Structure 1
Amino acid sequence: MHYLITGGTGLIGRSLCQTLLTAGHDITVLSRDKTKVYKQCGRNVKAIQSLDEISDDQKIDIVINLAGEPIADKKWSKQQKNILEQSRIGLTAALVNWIKMRQAKPHALISGSAVGWYGDQKQQPLTELSDYQHDYAHELCEKWEKAALEAADEVRVCIIRTGLVLSTEGGVLQRMLLPFKLGGGCTLGKGDQYMPWIHISDIVNLIIYLSQTPSAKGVFNGTAPHPVTNATFTTTLAKHLHRPAIFKAPEWLLKCVLGEMSQLLLGGQRAYPEKATAIGYQFQYTDLDDAFNNLLNKS
């Protein structure tokens, strides 16, 4: 099959490209930087800078939309919020318009979102049918999802609300490794907020599974079956690194340093992948210990 991917140079996108190439699929990556695409994804992909570079008679089977400015890299100023929204909502809207204009339409659009859609839900178990608590993360994800669902009259659409992707190649785990190895690992706030994690291999394989399962449509939680609290995540990572994690970062300090963005660290979602399990996806990593064993031993 021929996959068109946005966000191909991101953490998930890089691994997705490698997995699809190994399986013998054709890949086109939409990016502003062709050099970066070839460096991150390899020379066997086709890099384009505009959707206009795809002719209408060129077959595209699946569109996977993962593009988006990293949400936790900078404080949420008004300018940064605009960048976050344009990189997600604006690009998704352009992609949907492109799909609508094509005569030869793809079979499906698999579009990214995040568990932040649910807002801070404390200890409440969450499935794809759960309601939300309003905050900026929900507002951003809601607009992003609505933009993708505009294509639902034209093609099959799946939305993936991704949790914290665990990989030593980037993302939250990579950022935590150095301070934890130096003995500076700490619990965030009270530590009772849930962290809905997922192994990089599982989020990649789930995306591919949804792309190749004609009955799959609507919202899916891209999270492992067993979310854990921040306190449990902290002690488990410290155990695997053979280091102590005795410190606590107080809420007031995180709010002072990060402002509104502290919601990402102090809030949580106890999310479960009910729909993914129901349609037959089998997670390779369901337990946090197993995920860390794989990632940290491999690294």
Structure 2
Amino acid sequence: MDREREREEQQRELRTLRTEIAALRRRLEHGHPAAALEPEPDRFCPEDPRAGAGGQEASRGLEARLGRVEAGISLLSGVTGVRIADFSMTRLELPGSGQSAHRGEHGLRILRKGYLAGECHTLPFQLEFQLLETQSEENSSVAITDLGIILEPMEYSELDRFVARTEEKRDLFLFFRSLHFFLEWCEYRQQTFQHFKEKHPAVVQLPGGPAADSMALQSPRVPGFELVVVWTVSIDEEGKVLPKLDLLTKIPEQALTLDEEVVARAPRCFRTLLPLLGIEAAIESLIQLLCTEE
């Protein structure tokens, strides 16, 4: 129990340091450097000379640890696109025990409730979960016993099914990994559609906007002839992100004299081009085909 109380005390000290650092940054950002540098009472640096050296040493140690944690979080945010804005962890009473910790035949059991909020690629999220920690002489383990996920309303209907599956599996790693790759693909799709719209404004149409899942390519030589690139992004049962591109054709009546077999083969040929040329080069080849004059 002494080790547990010591760990909780260190966590409280780290939270206090984070609050003070955040306040210092806000002062500097609002143009008050002098006020930010004014000395403030600090419980980690007591005025009592008998405790001053030890308090300052402990403070420096905590600041160094906090710096390493913040550097790790910054690196993680850059790699995953996940930014944490708020976090809290509190103890709950164990069912039937009336206590936040209970020692049974399997060791010490502690139930905690966590809250996590932030953004993943600008998409806000909130997580509420419960952790059951079991400690024994041989080993220790932590299991998520309950998980609730809230995502801001958005246009990605695929995420509704994904969130429901993740809450059922209670897998936080799966949630962050799959959400990161899903949003990364959606952002790449939007940037690609916007790129071609700016490069070929007479041919490329985005009826649903650049964030939609389809892009229309209209022939400048045959009015009404249109190729539609449909680019969907889904998440399977195992959390794997699956992008898929298909080609649809729209042929006006006056162009029905075209070789129907050629038109029928167009989607299959496009899927063949994708692994050979890549997404952007395959789409560019379609646009050049429409712009080529006989």
Bin the TM-score by the shorter chain.
under 0.3
Larger Cα-atom Rg = 2
**Larger strand percent:** 2
Higher relative contact order (CA 8 A, sep 6+): 1
> Given the two structures, how large is their TM-score scaled by the length of structure 2?
0.21
> Given the two structures, how large is their TM-score scaled by the length of structure 1?
0.21
